[in-house]
Chains A and B, each alone.
Chain A
């Protein structure tokens, strides 16, 4: 029963990631693509949790926090690049 539910949930999130990949490919502007890639990263976290339930192991649960942090840092870097043109600025005083 629980395995069926978990497999259905993995299917739903895979369909969601496919829709977001459509937006990454088609999206007219760059922020569209960043929004979709951020949402893909967040959905991959959910896929990792569901796969570790389906495989019945708790060895992959550290990856959840790691992938969350990496998605956030990537999004922040992309939006700083869009807004200022540089990611790490080296002016001494502003």
Chain B
């Protein structure tokens, strides 16, 4: 294993672990569900994609084994994790979870399509 690939593997793995830690810190510390969702669905996604990229490079350099499932996993997490974050946030808003007390703007309160969605189940 040459030094440059080793360097890139270490950088990707450490960056991914750090971003996951930052995401967990944000989920603990931020005040309401929307900001927590923001932290979790962005930082954790980038961190896990970075760890998976490091693992893909590791197995390619060490064994000469290109695992296409890991590449597919990176693409799948990149596509589905923001969608999952959007669905949770929308479900939280429609089921009546309040914003943080110091929030100043709620544009969705007057949006017509959200009102239609919210009144459909009542």
Contact = CB atoms under 8 A, between A and B. Distances in A.
A16 B88 contact: no
A62 interface: yes
Interface centre among A15, A39, A69, A85 (most CB of B within 10 A): A39
Size class of the B contact interface (CB-based, 8 Å): 35 or more
B72 A65 contact: yes
Majority SS at the chain B contact face: helix
Contact of A9 (B16, B44, B63, B80): B16
Interface in B1-38: 6, 9-10, 13-14, 16-18, 20-21, 23-25, 27-28, 33, 36-37
Given A15-B24, A22-B28, A82 B95 contact: yes
B115 interface: no
A46 B20 contact: yes
A19 B121 contact: no
Interface residues of A, number: 51
B45 A42 contact: yes
Interface string A38-57: 11001101100110110000
